[in-house]
Amino acid sequence: MPARPMPERSLELAAFVPFRLNRLATGASQYLASIYQRRFGLDIPQWRVIATVGSRQDCTAQYIASSTRMHKTRVSRAIAELEGRQLIERVSSAQDRRERQVRLTKAGRRLYGELVPIALEREASLLACLPAEQQAGFLAALETLERFLQLEE
């Protein structure tokens, strides 16, 4: 079998934008995770479930998976673990009894209330490494890319 010709250009993974975005997302997620793991014993999927449900009141596991881009098994596992800790509960939907809504319990709402200021402070700390003009440009570029990839909620 003859050797394939080398492409005219090579791909330097460290400079490849999709790779850099993934690496950045992982790093930013771990930057925040270090706080809520240590203080609240939450892993990243559990944190995402708490944050999603807390900002919407009631929602479905399917919505959580779709909006967070987590696999449905990770969402189901996180929901089960949080339910075991009595931070969330599943209830039948008033519109469709087959559908189960996920909502925060009283303890879950209390936890969410503690998490939000910490998360927002950590986000501000992360963005503080950028001058205000770069922050604005970075956030605008994120919105543009999310729109292009149809990732808006």
Please state, as a whole number, how many other Cβ atoms lie within 10 Å of the Cβ of residue 87. 24
Q: Answer whether residue 152 shows pLDDT above 70.
A: no
Please state, as a whole number, how many other Cβ atoms lie within 10 Å of the Cβ of residue 42. 24
What single-letter amino acid sits at 69? R
**Confidence bin at 1 (pLDDT 50/70/90):** low
Give the mean pLDDT of 46-53: 96
- Give me the pLDDT at residue 94, please: 72
Tokens matching residue 148: 């292009």
- Give me the pLDDT at residue 3, please: 75
- Give me the pLDDT at residue 118, please: 93
Sheet of 100-104, strands arranged across:
58-59, 100-104, 88-92
The whole-model pTM stands at 0.84
According to CATH, the topology of domain 16-148 is Arc Repressor Mutant, subunit A (1.10.10)
Q: How far, in Å, CA of 100 to CA of 61, rounded?
A: 8
Q: How far, in Å, CA of 100 to CA of 92, rounded?
A: 5
Q: pLDDT tens across 98-113, in order?
A: 778 999 999 999 999 9
- Give me the pLDDT at residue 51, please: 95
Domain residue ranges of the chain, discontinuous segments joined by +: 16-148
Average pLDDT of every residue of the chain: 91
| % of the chain at pLDDT higher than 90 | 78
Q: Which of 47, 54, 46 is CA-nearest to residue 103?
A: 54
Q: pLDDT tens across 112-134, in order?
A: 999 999 999 999 999 999 999 99
Q: Where are the alpha helices (DSSP H) in the chain?
A: 17-40, 44-56, 61-68, 72-84, 106-127, 132-148
The helix/strand/coil state of 104 is strand
**Confidence bin at 6 (pLDDT 50/70/90):** low
**Confidence bin at 15 (pLDDT 50/70/90):** very high
